[in-house]
Amino acid sequence: MTAPSTTNAAVRPATAAERAERAEANGGEPTLEFAQRTPYDAYVHASTLHTLQQTLSKDPGEMSFLMISQVMELYFGLVRFELRETQRLLAEDDVYGALAPLRRTVLHLDGLNAAWNALHWMTPADFNRFRNLLGEGSGFQSAMYRHLEFLLGLKTESLIRPFKRQDEVYHDLLATLHGASVWDDVIALLARQGFDLPADLLTRDFATEHEAHPAVEAAWVRIYADQGPDNHLRLLGEALTDVAERFDDWRYKHLKAVARTMGAKVGSGGSNGYAWLQRSMSRTVFPELWSARTAM
């Protein structure tokens, strides 16, 4: 038998009866004595999380910038988790089941977008007080954000090059790049559901970005024509549309945050900053879901 991890030693399952017994023994007061660290810390690792804010300057504003960046990274990871769960359910033809992780994804993206509000105070002068200390560090180098782009179908092979010296990160990204995106899985699902889609859409090189196809658009026009309550494909389309919309909101808020704090200055990561972000926003997530609306 494998010994329990010492990091989780304070986490012990409890039944409803045990909780009731503890509450009675405590007279309704919270438990204050534990043999080891609190079960909350053992589960959440809060004491570890709060050691990760290591600023490079004495400027108090840098703490906000660093911590909000870390919060966004956690949200990126959470959204990736939900999108992969969505893919698993789509592969099993569980359309209704896939709605739950997609709806959670929308809520997570709402939280991610709200995080930008915590940086509204930052002016160019505020950012400039510590910006030079960041060197070439840039959000462009977020591997987890790149996973999100790839899972949402925005594939660019060259963008994994910065991670070549981080072997595990690089190969994880490589797998996501060459794997099917959520949209590829949706297209495969539609084909299995009997929609007439070209075979080359199902066997294409997934490392390249999907190009909008009239047959996929026509399938969505047909799906939306059925307004019945049991049309789970239409519900899927709306959930995916919500995801794409919230992701676009994040890209727009990123663009405006850059404009607000540094204008059109050269980006820390070597790009032309604002102009680079403007170009990236022109790429559409789940394109046929949007174009089909013209024909509905």
Tell me the binding residues: 131, 254
How many Cβ atoms are within 10 Å of 38's Cβ, its own excluded?
14
Alpha-helical (H) ranges within 117-270 are 124-128, 143-151, 167-178, 182-192, 199-203, 214-225, 232-262
**Residues making up the binding site for substrate:** 131
What is the number of alpha carbons within 13 Å of residue 264 lying toward its C-beta?
Answer: 2
Of the candidates 150, 151, 152, 170, the residue with the CA atom closest to the CA atom of residue 160:
170
E strand residue ranges, 64-150 = none
In angstroms, the CA 152 to CA 216 distance is: 16
Angle at 253 between CA 252 and CA 256, to 5 degrees: 90
**Residues making up the binding site for heme:** 254
Write phi, then psi, for 197 (nearest 5 degrees). -120, 140
Of the candidates 93, 263, 111, the residue with the CA atom closest to the CA atom of residue 189:
93
Of the candidates 276, 253, 5, the residue with the CA atom closest to the CA atom of residue 112:
253
